[in-house]
């Protein structure tokens, strides 16, 4: 009688790395192995189980339901090991380890970095990897530990806390407003579409076709063709500050800048919420819980 295959911890590491990486090369990078070693290990596991764990496709390795279940077990083991190592390596009252935070460029520079400064001084054992991108980096694959994201509907599988409402308006540099003869409207004044349409405009490029500011401009200023397109929202802010044209800028950034003036009130259609997101399997780790708690208390929208 054949004995059933006994899964080992290294087997689960292979499955988890491939679930997260989706390719042999990426799984190998995560494990410190070459792709051929990962391939042979996967063949051995699947043969032992008598079941396929991944479907091969041109886009990579797609995890079956069984592989996803194994990955969940592996993540819990990983979290427990990391917690045990943290307890073993630090003295009482200290927090240490790497925390990876993903957010957008404007939120990083405007809110996250100022909030992290005192935390880093309080816990010098903490180190941070900061990922500024307009794409939602996967917390499920552990590409990051914490996400700070502007969204109206955060993913259901993540644990989240809403930090507040992000509001925006149309801003220009004070110098451009004066040279173009555009009066600064009184609070509550209706939108002057004609005056705004006469200005040069700065907008996100084709990589962000559905950005709320793009949808708003196309709806309310349909005759405007942006003279400048940039590949980040921080680039929009910098170009507006440089006097190149008008653009949709967060109230936080616009009001902190000494050189910008608002040509509209808050644009309700562009409002989003700022969420602090973590994965449920890792949120209790001391280093992550410490950073999450600190960000929740100290991130300020100032709108």
Would the pLDDT of 185 be above 80?
Answer: yes
Which element (helix H / strand E) includes 249? strand 247-250
Q: Do residues 202 and 247 lie in contact, with contact meaning Cβ atoms separated by under 8 Å? A: yes
Residues 265 and 200 in one domain: yes
Q: Do residues 66 and 51 lie in contact, with contact meaning Cβ atoms separated by under 8 Å? A: yes
Residues 132 and 162 in one domain: yes
pLDDT value for 92: 53
Q: What is the mean pLDDT of residues 5-29?
A: 91
* 110/128 Cα distance (integer angstroms): 17
Q: What is the mean pLDDT of residues 251-279?
A: 88
Residues 135 and 220 in one domain: no
Which of the four pLDDT bands, split at 50, 70 and 90, describes residue 96? confident
Record the tokens describing residue 76, joined without a space.
């819990």
Residues 162 and 220 in one domain: no
Residues 251 and 216 in one domain: yes
Would the pLDDT of 138 be above 60?
Answer: no
pLDDT value for 234: 87
pLDDT in tens, 197-227: 999 999 998 888 888 899 999 999 999 999 9
* 38/218 Cα distance (integer angstroms): 49
pLDDT value for 202: 95
pTM > 0.85: yes or no: no
Which of the four pLDDT bands, split at 50, 70 and 90, describes residue 55? very high
DSSP notation for 80-136: HHHHHHHHHHS-TT---EEEEEEE-HHHIIIIIHHHHHHHHHH-TTEEEEEEE-SS-
Query: Average pLDDT of the chain?
Result: 86
Q: Do residues 17 and 31 lie in contact, with contact meaning Cβ atoms separated by under 8 Å? A: yes
Which of the four pLDDT bands, split at 50, 70 and 90, describes residue 57? confident
Residues 101 and 229 in one domain: no
Would the pLDDT of 188 be above 80?
Answer: no
174 within some domain: yes
Q: How many CB atoms lie within 10 A of CB 213?
A: 21
Residues 109 and 239 in one domain: no
pLDDT value for 105: 85
Residues 156 and 278 in one domain: yes
Which of the four pLDDT bands, split at 50, 70 and 90, describes residue 72? confident
Would the pLDDT of 94 be above 80?
Answer: no
CATH at 130: 3.40.190.10
Residues spanned by the domain of 57: 9-87
172 within some domain: yes
pLDDT value for 140: 53
CATH at 18: 1.10.10.10
Query: Cα-flanking dihedrals φ and ψ of residue 182, to 5°?
Result: -95, 115
pLDDT value for 286: 84
Residues 51 and 116 in one domain: no
Would the pLDDT of 1 be above 70?
Answer: no
Which is higher by pLDDT, 78 or 31?
A: 31
Residues 116 and 175 in one domain: no
* 254/237 Cα distance (integer angstroms): 8
Would the pLDDT of 141 be above 80?
Answer: no
261 within some domain: yes
Mode of pairing for the β-strands spanning 97-103 and 146-151: parallel
Q: What is the mean pLDDT of residues 4-11?
A: 88
Residues 138 and 196 in one domain: no
pLDDT value for 253: 85
Residues 253 and 111 in one domain: no
pLDDT value for 34: 92
Among residues of the chain, what percentage have pLDDT more than 90? 37
- Report which DSSP code applies to 18: H
Q: What is the mean pLDDT of residues 78-95?
A: 68
Would the pLDDT of 27 be above 60?
Answer: yes
pLDDT in tens, 97-121: 889 998 988 888 888 998 998 998 8
- Into how many domains does the chain fold? 3
Record the tokens describing residue 134, joined without a space.
């307009």
pLDDT value for 246: 94
pLDDT value for 215: 92
């Amino acid at each position: 009688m054949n004995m059933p295959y006994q899964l080992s911890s290294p087997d689960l590491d292979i499955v988890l790395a491939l679930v997260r990486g989706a390719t042999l090369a990426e799984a190998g990078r995560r494990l410190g192995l070459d792709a051929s070693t990962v391939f042979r290990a996967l063949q051995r596991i699947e043969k032992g189980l008598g079941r396929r764990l991944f479907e091969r496709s041109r886009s990579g390795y797609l995890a079956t339901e069984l592989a996803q279940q194994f990955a969940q077990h592996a993540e819990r083991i990983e979290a427990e090991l990391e917690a045990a190592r943290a307890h073993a390596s630090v003295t009482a009252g200290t927090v240490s380890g790497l925390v990876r935070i993903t957010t957008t460029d404007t939120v990083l520079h405007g809110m996250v970095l100022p909030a992290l400064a005192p935390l880093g001084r309080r816990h010098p054992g903490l180190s941070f990897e900061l990922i500024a991108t307009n794409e939602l980096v996967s917390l499920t694959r552990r590409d990051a530990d914490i996400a700070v994201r502007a969204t109206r509907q955060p993913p259901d599988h993540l644990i989240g806390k809403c930090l507040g409402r992000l509001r925006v308006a149309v801003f220009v540099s004070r110098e451009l407003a004066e040279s173009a003869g555009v009066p600064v409207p009184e609070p509550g004044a209706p939108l002057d579409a004609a005056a705004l349409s006469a200005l040069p405009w700065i907008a996100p490029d084709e990589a962000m076709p559905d950005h709320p500011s793009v949808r708003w401009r196309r709806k309310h200023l349909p005759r405007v063709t942006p003279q400048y397109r940039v590949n980040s929202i921080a680039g929009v802010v910098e170009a507006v500050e440089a006097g190149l044209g008008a653009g949709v800028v967060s109230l936080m950034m616009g009001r902190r800048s000494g050189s910008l003036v608002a040509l509209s009130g808050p644009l309700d259609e562009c409002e989003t919420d700022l969420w602090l997101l973590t994965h449920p399997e890792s949120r209790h780790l001391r280093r992550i819980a410490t950073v999450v708690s600190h960000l929740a208390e100290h991130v300020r929208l100032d709108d």
